[in-house]
């Protein structure tokens, strides 16, 4: 059993345009699906994934309602769970968080690069307070992003600043910060935050991955691929290369996620 905590898919009518635009912005990443749920499901079956958490992003204030409606549709489909999203500059962001909760979604995804905010900006405090009150999981894109340059908006120091305003499960994607391995070891390991493994294959040196895993412990890791940009099989190969027990692999592959999401496996 594998739960992939970090995937992306789009409504069928816009999937092709979305994938093409994102691939171009990333500098040439090659998508492994066509962006639809059906295509994602096909790849899940190939790589042994039983459940995918699909993460939407409201890239502007007017998008969040549609993004969350699509997430609610995904939640009704077997093999999928979806998180919602709000845009920090939307005047109704707090009301939309209430709606996300009412739709039965268990978390929200925020992408500080696409949404142009520093995670430790004071303006985020009301959103973090509401997320915490509602008991929603919050997942941040963390570290570098291929489609953007400096300054990055969720580096380890920024995340530390945000954590003091959050009283809910926090997930820092990409091993705590894409391209930030040494800083993650020095600053984030041991804090009250989850890491997912998305996009680690080929970008995370094995020695650094082992240090992060040892210091943060497998109890705080969630398997993630970042489909359609990385295949689950690629991330599995990185995890299997590390010095880790069978029991701890099971924690990473599905047990931790199932506990966090409140589901039986």
Distance CA 135, CA 107 (A): 8
Give the up-direction half-sphere exposure of residue 39: CA atoms within 13 A in the CB hemisphere.
19
pLDDT tens-place string over residues 112-138: 999 999 999 999 999 999 999 999 999
pLDDT tens-place string over residues 158-184: 999 999 999 999 999 999 999 999 999
Q: What residues have CB less than 8 Å from 227, skipping those under 6 apart? A: 4, 6, 7, 8, 32, 33, 40, 43, 52
What is the distance, to the nearest Å, from the Cα of residue 70 to the centroid of all Cα atoms in its chain?
Answer: 17
b/e code 11-45 from CB counts within 10 Å (16+ = b): beeebeeebeebbeeeeebebbbbbbbebbbebbe
Pick the closest to residue 249 from 263, 231, 236, 262 (CA basis). Answer: 236
Pick the closest to residue 55 from 175, 227, 176 (CA basis). Answer: 227
Instruction: Judge whether 188 and 162 are in contact, CB under 8 Å.
Output: no
pLDDT tens-place string over residues 212-221: 999 999 999 9
Largest CA distance in the chain: 48
Is residue 83's pLDDT more than 90?
yes
* H or E element at residue 21: helix 12-25
Across the chain, mean pLDDT equals: 97
Q: What residues have CB less than 8 Å from 262, skipping those under 6 apart? A: 106
- Distance (Å) of CA 90 to CA 5, 72, 116, 131: 26, 20, 13, 15
Is residue 26's pLDDT more than 90?
no
Q: What residues have CB less than 8 Å from 17, skipping those under 6 apart? A: none
Asked which of 16-25, 38-47, 200-209, 254-263 is least confident by mean pLDDT, the reply is 16-25
pLDDT tens-place string over residues 28-56: 899 999 999 999 999 999 999 999 999 99
User: CB neighbours (10 Å) of residue 157?
Assistant: 12
Q: State the DSSP code for 186.
A: I
Distance CA 259, CA 265 (A): 9
Instruction: Judge whether 65 and 86 are in contact, CB under 8 Å.
Output: no
- In this prediction the pTM is 0.97
Instruction: Judge whether 224 and 3 are in contact, CB under 8 Å.
Output: no
């Amino acid at each position: 059993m594998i739960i992939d905590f970090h995937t992306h898919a789009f409504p069928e009518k816009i999937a092709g345009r979305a994938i093409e635009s994102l691939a171009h912005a990333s500098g040439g990443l090659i998508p492994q699906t066509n962006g639809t749920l059906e295509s994602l499901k096909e790849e899940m079956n190939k790589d042994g994934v039983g459940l995918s958490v699909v993460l939407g992003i409201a890239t502007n204030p007017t998008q969040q309602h549609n993004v969350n409606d699509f997430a609610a549709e995904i939640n009704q489909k077997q093999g999928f769970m979806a998180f919602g999203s709000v845009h920090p500059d939307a005047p109704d962001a707090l009301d939309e968080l209430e709606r996300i909760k009412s739709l039965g979604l268990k978390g929200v995804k925020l992408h500080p690069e696409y949404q142009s905010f520093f995670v430790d900006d004071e303006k985020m405090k009301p959103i973090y307070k509401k997320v915490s009150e509602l008991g929603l999981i919050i997942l941040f894109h963390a570290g570098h992003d291929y489609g953007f340059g400096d300054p990055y908006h969720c580096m380890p120091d920024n995340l530390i600043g945000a954590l003091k305003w959050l009283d809910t499960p926090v997930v820092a994607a990409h091993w705590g910060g894409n391209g930030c391995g040494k800083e993650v070891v020095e600053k984030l390991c041991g804090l009250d935050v989850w890491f997912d493994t998305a996009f680690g294959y080929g970008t995370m040196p094995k020695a650094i991955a082992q240090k992060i895993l040892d210091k943060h412990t497998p109890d705080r890791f969630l398997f993630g691929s970042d489909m359609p940009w990385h295949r689950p099989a690629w991330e599995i190969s990185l995890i299997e290369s590390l010095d880790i027990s069978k029991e701890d692999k099971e924690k990473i592959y599905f047990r931790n996620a199932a506990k966090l999401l409140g589901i039986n496996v």
